[in-house]
Amino acid sequence: MGAAKRGLVAILALSALARAAYADDAPATPPPDKSGFSVFDPTPDADLRAFCTDRPTKSTGPCTVDAGHFQVESDVFNLTYDTSGGADTTTLLYTNPTLKLGLTNTIDAEVNIAPWETITSKDRATHHTTRASGVGDLYIRVKANLIGDDSGDVSFALEPYVKVPTAPNGVGDGAVEGGLIAPIQVNLPANWSLTIDPEGDILKNAVGDGDHFNMSGLLSFSRPLSKTVTLSLEVWTDGDFDPGGAVTQASFDLGAAWIPPGHPNFQLDGGVNLGLNNETPAAQAYVGVSQRF
């Protein structure tokens, strides 16, 4: 646990430095004061910020759902193909909804669970096939934006989460786990934006009792190609420091999102993630949908 605590402390320190570095940024035109709105006194539709989701790609943005509003973000279908560990493994998610509720102008609560997933693995040496199916684990998150939710060139948030083990054996590991994400978004020239997502997690050891530290991060670049289509590309990496053997993963991810004209609260998206080493799933493809209410 010593390494785990040090890792989480490092992420909190990075978050504090980012906040201090941009604390003096002020928009040229002050946004409307929405601080008084809450889940019981919703933000008027006319004052809603631009529709913002944590999809496509793996990135988590620092934006939150406006107070009193509800948002659904979900895979419609998600397929992952993995060739590591001497087996060919296919994971199918039949939807994977994240439900978000704006509690205040800068804080929202989020829950995520896959209603059903199927994992099929075929050993390449013995040709033996195993299959496990069931509901996924439940993830509970709270996102608190500290800078730039409504304006400015820099936005920053903290998002702690906990995983409740609702998945059966073979689908989940049966452990309570958790972590912290500290998303930072910076507006760049030529309409590009950069999202940086440092994350630290406390995960169950693969063998025996105890837990260990996991760290991941990404650089995600996005740019609108038109008034309705946005393209995203990112590089993601993850380091799992399990005492039974450390594992490093990396991927290159592409995603695109479309908000139809005249429907500013609805989004269709899709993408593909390509593994960059043998420890990472070779490919993941998905399509998804989001709606704000």
Decide which of 25 and 140 is more confident.
140
Give the model confidence (pLDDT) of 127-171 as tens digits: 899 999 999 999 999 999 999 999 999 999 999 999 999 999 999
pLDDT band at 271 (very low <50, low <70, confident <90, very high): very high
Position 28 in a domain? no
The percent of residues in the chain predicted with pLDDT above 70, rounded, is 90
Residue 175 domain flag? yes
Average pLDDT for 250-257: 98
Residue 50 in any domain: the answer is yes
- The answer on pLDDT for 2 being more than 60 is no
Q: What is the pLDDT of residue 85?
A: 82
Backbone φ, ψ for residue 15 (5° rounding): -60, -45
Sign of the Cα pseudo-torsion (65, 66, 70, 76, in order): negative
Rounded Cα distance between 188 and 225, Å, is 15
Place of tokens 């978000």: 100
In the predicted model, is pLDDT for residue 19 greater than 50?
no
Q: pTM for the full model?
A: 0.87
pLDDT for 252 beyond 90: yes
- Owning domain of residue 241: 2-23+39-292
> Residue 33: inside a domain, yes or no?
no
Those residues whose C-beta lies under 8 Å from the C-beta of residue 59, and which sit 6 or more positions away, are: 183, 195, 197, 218, 220, 232, 234
Q: Report whether pLDDT(14) > 90.
A: no
Binned at pLDDT 50, 70 and 90, residue 29 comes out as: low
Interval 230-243 mean pLDDT: 98
The answer to the question of residue 250 being in a domain is yes
Q: Which tokens in the block code for residue 42? A: 């919703």
CA distance 260 to 251: 29
Structure confidence by residue, pLDDT tens digits, 64-116? 999 999 999 999 999 999 998 889 999 999 999 999 999 999 999 999 999 99
The pLDDT of residue 23: 45
Q: How many residues does the chain have?
A: 293
Peptide bond into 56 cis (omega under 30): yes
Alpha carbon distance 208, 287 (integer Å): 37
Other CB atoms within 10 Å distance of the CB of residue 153 = 13
pLDDT score at 8: 44
**Tell me: the pLDDT tens digits for 194-222?**
999 999 999 999 998 999 999 999 999 99
Residue partners of 5: CB distance under 8 A and separation at least 6: none
- Work out the number of other CB atoms within 10 angstroms of the CB of residue 108: 26
Q: Could you give the number of structural domains in the chain? A: 1
Residue 124 burial (CB < 10 Å; 0-12/13-18/19+)?
exposed
* DSSP-derived pairing of the beta strands 87-93 and 117-123: antiparallel
Does residue 179 surpass a pLDDT of 50?
Answer: yes
Give just the sign of the alpha carbon dihedral 59, 63, 64, 65.
negative
Instruction: Flag whether 30 is in a domain.
Output: no
Q: pLDDT at residue 5 above 60?
A: no
Can you give the pLDDT at residue 84? 85
> Percent of the chain scored above 90 by pLDDT?
85
CATH number at residue 8: 2.40.160.40
Mean of the per-residue pLDDT values for the chain?
91
pLDDT above 60: residue 20: no
Please provide residue 6's backbone torsions phi and psi, each rounded to the nearest 5 degrees. -65, -40
Q: Which residue bears the tokens 């994977």?
A: 96
Q: Is residue 29 part of a domain?
A: no
Residue 32 inside a domain? The answer is no
